[in-house]
Amino acid sequence: MITVHHLADSRSQRVLWLLEELDLDYEVVRYERDPATYLAPASLKRVHPLGKSPVITDDDNTVAETGHIVDYIVRRHGQGRLAPAADSLVYERYQYWLHYAEGSLMPPLLLQLIFNSVETRAPMLAKPVAKAISGQVKKQFIRPQQKLHFDYLEDQLADNDWFVGEAFTAADIMLSFPIEAGTARGVVRDSHPRLKAFIERIHGREAYKRALARGGEYAYA
């Protein structure tokens, strides 16, 4: 039995969705964020030394990192579903998107959160300086990088509804969270109609809805 150690309002929601798409049995252990820091609780360190989510246990295996978890579940339990064959022409594209989601797309979104926090949490006397520095970092690096990536993603959907091709795959699940977050934060704009349509498609999937019911309240902004 797979157990998902699921942090509220986090990227682990994708793991629940994947399991629902594959119609697999699983258990959810839900963890709430610290109300002051918004970080994961220390109790997660009993599952994995880093104390991060998502992390799953599957019999004697403990698996961390979202991309690794998704790849593990598809390989071990997918029975050929939600991934192209390893010897197919599109398999490398599938692997690329699995790793791109966290390796390239998430960092500019996380940096925005970090610098927003710098502005709000700075001591009163230092706040003007903190806002000035943060504003310059956002203007010169974070926003251009976000635009670069989301414009790139928009172009990738020119010929198909899904990122690997005509078929929905686990790569679309991996890409869902950063695109949802980008949409909630206004990074996905009217100039990205394909990405907006992608969000509508995934939100309409019955497995996605079931995963929300299992995982509880979900705010990705």
Q: Which amino acid is residue 160, in one-letter code?
A: N
Q: What is the CATH number of domain 91-205?
A: 1.20.1050.10
CATH H superfamily, domain 2-83+210-215: Glutaredoxin (3.40.30.10)
Q: What is the arithmetic mean of pLDDT over 25-35?
A: 93
33-89, pLDDT tens digit by residue? Answer: 988 888 899 999 999 999 999 999 999 999 999 999 999 999 999 999 999 999 999
CA distance 62 to 69: 9
User: Which DSSP category does 28 fall into?
Assistant: E
188 Cβ contact partners less than 8 Å away, ≥ 6 residues apart:
150, 179, 182, 195, 196, 199
CA distance 67 to 95: 10
Banded model confidence at residue 216, pLDDT cuts 50, 70, 90: confident
Domain boundaries, the chain: 2-83+210-215, 91-205
148-201, pLDDT tens digit by residue? Answer: 999 999 999 999 999 999 999 999 999 999 999 999 999 999 999 999 999 999
87-130, pLDDT tens digit by residue? Answer: 999 999 999 999 999 999 999 999 998 999 889 888 988 889 98
